[in-house]
Amino acid sequence: MNYIENYENWLNDERLNAEAKTELENIKDNKDETEYRFGAELEFGTAGMRGIIGYGTNMLNVYTVRRATQGLAEFIKSKGAAAMARGVAISFDTRLKSDEFAKAAAEVLAANGITAYLFDDVHPVPMLSFTVRELNTFAGIMITASHNPKQYNGYKVYGEDGAQMSPDDTSVVVDFIGKITDYLGTPAPTDEQTRKFIKTVPAKVDRKYYKQLKKLTLSKKAVRACGKNLKLVYTPVHGSGYIPVTTILRKIGINATVVEEQTSKDTSFSTVEVPNPEFKETLSMGIKLAQRIDATVVFGTDPDSDRLGVAVKNKEGEFEALSGNQVGILLLDYILTRLKEEKALPANAAVVKSFVTTGMAKAICNKFGVELFEVPVGFKFIGEKIKLWERDRSHTFVFGFEESCGYLRGTHARDKDAVVASMLCAEMVCYYTYKNKTVFQRLQEIYDTYGYVLDCNISVPFKGLNAMKDMNAVVDGLKAEPATKFDIYNVVTVRDYSANVKTDIATGAKSEIGSPLTNCVYYELENGGFICVRPSGTEPKLKIYFSVKAHNKQDAEAALEKMQKAVQKLIKK
């Protein structure tokens, strides 16, 4: 069936709601729009679905959400009555239609006789992950598009361990979804099924979450001394972090000044270009407030509060937005320092990071005698390490992070947690304030100790119906003709994560990487840096990562410029 037939079938179906009918009638003369909406199906990958809000098979709407949920329901039913009774926890953020999609998912589950625990208001990703574990549900659903622009929404599925669903289970769910060809025919619950199977998540779950976070504090003395008078600015950027972040800071005794204009649940995120706290522009209102009250640190969380952005005042008195890598090494250094000072650092302590995250983590872990593990991009792989170590007791998880502003301390959740990261960052500010030092000064001390490392990434956008396929083709081309040099920087080893093989350039020797498969090519450079190219798993962008080690910032920036030009030339080829 071609896209025109798909479009007409939807438009002429009497089950189509009025909003959808009007929207689809308005594009009847727009061939490109019709083809985009109905020429493909929205892909359900290892991170679930993410797409532009609108009607069509390739869009995020109530029908694609119901279809995906029906596929999940079939998977749960295949596991038996016990799995159905344990049910699914469902949360949602402040994005357009998030509450509607969450309710639709709950209704499909109820219609299948599966218990659905639905939050009565917005809750972030980490609290959904915690709830899955606390209520012992079989799975979890989070309605969010994370930090994407306002026109997007998404659907993420979590396994019973609180981490994003494993690739193996996701594959089974995808098979069930693929068998559902009638998008408008998913079952609706009876009144009795709604009453019986749709339950509200108990309020005590929130209280238990905060109690777990309080156990992770590291500097109570410094907080008592500095917390109440701390000049720290926080913005939730209209997202779900507002209540949990301010609540945990209040509970541990830290004052935060909130950007009031950005506390509303604004589905248009009208005060920012993009609700991504990685960008300094997104934190601009917070920075203006910080300048007005003479604060030294600004925090911001994204709509589903799994990412934390930080800006700090430098020695010139101007605010700098820190990268996810910089915040990561600050937190890593702080956590290990405090655990060691308190003689609480486990002998088998372990840190986990994605392989595209800064190489400086290795030097810091080596100094503290802590083992560092690398995993593919995606916090679910960090969650898998936690689950493994809880089972075999070989290591104790102390911290996990990704360069994309995702951090986790503790095992209460199995995904990025900007709530606990906000708490730890605020506590870290108290700790250094107590020592008459700023966070920026501590960052410079870290560079002085381990050498300057410049980490950055760029995104190359792809458009059109075949965007995801085109991105993967670029990466496949790089693997077919491995580069041995980028400008003056020789490649030592090439890692092909899609084949789990790394190749020594000098000898040609091949060995296993020992990592889950993912479409990615990674170049280890002789100067200790790396270049990595991978397609984004959530949006049509080719991601290119650079890590440069140098004597100082100026030398690193010069090296980065040469490397970027060489990579751009290779990709164009």
- Say if residue 228's pLDDT is above 80: yes
Least confident range of 352-356, 384-388, 547-551: 547-551
| Whether 236 contacts 287, CB under 8 Å | no
DSSP string, 297-338: EEEEE-TTS--EEEEEE-TTS-EEEPPHHHHHHHHHHHHHHH
Least confident range of 59-68, 178-187, 222-231, 559-568: 559-568
Q: What percent of the chain has pLDDT over 70?
A: 100
Q: What is the pLDDT of residue 487?
A: 86
Q: What is the pLDDT of residue 469?
A: 86
The domain 454-572 having CATH identifier 3.30.310.50: the answer here is: yes
| Whether 76 contacts 113, CB under 8 Å | no
**Average pLDDT of 41-66?**
94
Stretch(es) of the chain classified as CATH 3.30.310.50? 454-572
Q: What is the pLDDT of residue 482?
A: 80
User: 334: which residues sit within 8 A by CB, 6+ positions away?
Assistant: 218, 424, 428, 431, 442
Q: What is the pLDDT of residue 240?
A: 98
- Say if residue 537's pLDDT is above 80: no
| Assigned fold of 209-450 | Alpha-D-Glucose-1,6-Bisphosphate; Chain A, domain 3 (3.40.120)
The 10s digit of each residue's pLDDT in 362-393 is: 999 999 999 999 998 889 999 999 999 999 99
- Say if residue 538's pLDDT is above 90: no
User: Exposure string (b/e) for 553-571, b if CB count within 10 Å is 16 or more?
Assistant: eeebeebbeebbebbeebe
Q: For residue 156, what pLDDT band results from cuts at 50, 70 and 90?
A: very high
The arrangement of secondary structure in 40-202, i.e. its CATH architecture, is 3-Layer(aba) Sandwich (3.40)
* HSE-CB of 259 using CA atoms within 13 angstroms: 28
List active site positions: 146
**Average pLDDT of 327-344?**
98
The 10s digit of each residue's pLDDT in 8-37 is: 999 999 999 999 999 999 999 999 999 999
- Say if residue 517's pLDDT is above 90: no
The 10s digit of each residue's pLDDT in 413-466 is: 999 999 999 999 999 999 999 999 999 999 999 999 998 999 988 888 888 878
Q: Quick one: angle between helices 242-252 and 418-434, nearest 10?
A: 40
Q: What is the pLDDT of residue 186?
A: 97
- Say if residue 539's pLDDT is above 80: no
Stretch(es) of the chain classified as CATH 3.40.120.10? 40-202, 209-450
- Token digits for 259? 């950007």
Residue type, 82: A
